[in-house]
Amino acid sequence: MKDTFSAASYLEGKDQKWLVTGAAGFIGSHLTQALLEANQRVVAVDNFLTGKPENIEDVKRRVGALASKKLEFHELDIRDQAAMSRITKGVDFVLHQAALGSVPRSIKDPMTSHDVNVNGFLSVLEAARAAKVKRFVYASSSSVYGDHPVLPKVEEQIGNPLSPYAATKRTNEIYARAYASAYQMTLVGLRYFNVFGPRQDPDGQYAAVIPRWVKGVLTNSEVAIFGDGETSRDFCYIKNVVQANLKAAIDPGVEAGHAIELNVAAHKQTTLNELYNAIRDGLSAKSGNARIRDHVPVYKDFRPGDIRHSLADIEKARKLIAYQPTHSVQEGLSESLDWYIESSR
């Protein structure tokens, strides 16, 4: 795939004010960086529950002092509705990324996942309604497809949620449709499929699979594969996700006063065994450390709440917002491994 999407070119000549929630997180920090590089004004929000201050500092370093002047950062909780209403005044577009991710986390503590992911979502949504934003784009999840067996996943066919996390994301979509109907807001829910890339945290109990495995291989520690390794996912590189968010916010293909959901993925299945081999071999080649090739994973029981296979149909996103993935799994993984190797030094 060829990198043909540029946020700066796409937003050239547009002077807009954006609200990014979860801005110190993995996806939020990349969105914030892309917007600042495109000379946009950004109101950024994070409470550092899962986001990291160093991500915001890294964004500032990368965009430079001049662009950083257009960043207005607020350390606050999205559930603080009064604060959210105050900082959302004058905002044109909302990119809502703040949430507590992880299926296992939601199974262990469903109440907190609900509070942040649903009540927090509603708080931001109310602030956006009061501010009369032009469009509200939010992070949904492929988990809403639940137990629906058909592949690839199409937006109009969902099953029963298999975890509290999936239930919170589906609830977000229901609220979005209700607000579109009741208040004529324009909302786009992006159903992310296993996003990965630089700045994704390898530490913590609920770290995503790719950064966790990269750290495990680099440090010669345990890498656990749950099940037989033939479970498959549609891994999507972060630059594809940035493209989808900006196009979902700006593209005229989204009908005003309505709510829609779009898959954001690479439309490519990768098994966990294939992923592990690609990480191990890639790290060995890039680091020059021959020992890495001797690393082997540990297979454990399947986890409750996990789906067996996942693959997205992305035709709806192609049609409505001209979404076109620029990075394959292999290309994105290569860039990510470079970043993790450099960060480990």
For residues 226 and 273, give the distance between their C-alpha atoms in angstroms, rounded to a whole number.
10
Nearest one of 195, 272, 284 to 241, comparing CA atoms? 195
Catalytically annotated residue among 138, 145, 165, 192: 165
Strands 236-237 and 135-141: unpaired
Residues 52 and 30: their CA atoms lie apart, in Å, by 13
DSSP letter assigned to residue 312 = B
Alpha-carbon distances, residue 273 vs 21, 267, 329 (angstroms)? 34, 18, 14
**Annotated catalytic residue 138:** no
Contact 107, 164 (CB under 8 A): yes
Residue reference for tokens 């430079």: 64
Contact 29, 199 (CB under 8 A): yes
Q: Are 210 and 217 in contact (CB under 8 A)?
A: no
Q: Coil, strand or helix: which one is 277? A: helix
Give dist(CA 263, CA 140) in Å, integer.
9
Whether the Cβ atoms of residue 277 and residue 225 lie closer than 8 Å to each other: no
Rounded Cα–Cα distance for residues 66 and 282 (Å): 36
> Do residues 157 and 208 lie in contact, with contact meaning Cβ atoms separated by under 8 Å?
no
HSE-CB of 286 using CA atoms within 13 angstroms:
20
Rounded to the nearest angstrom, the gap between the alpha carbon of residue 73 and the centroid of all alpha carbons in its chain is 20
DSSP letter (8 states) at residue 340: H
State the catalytic residues.
165
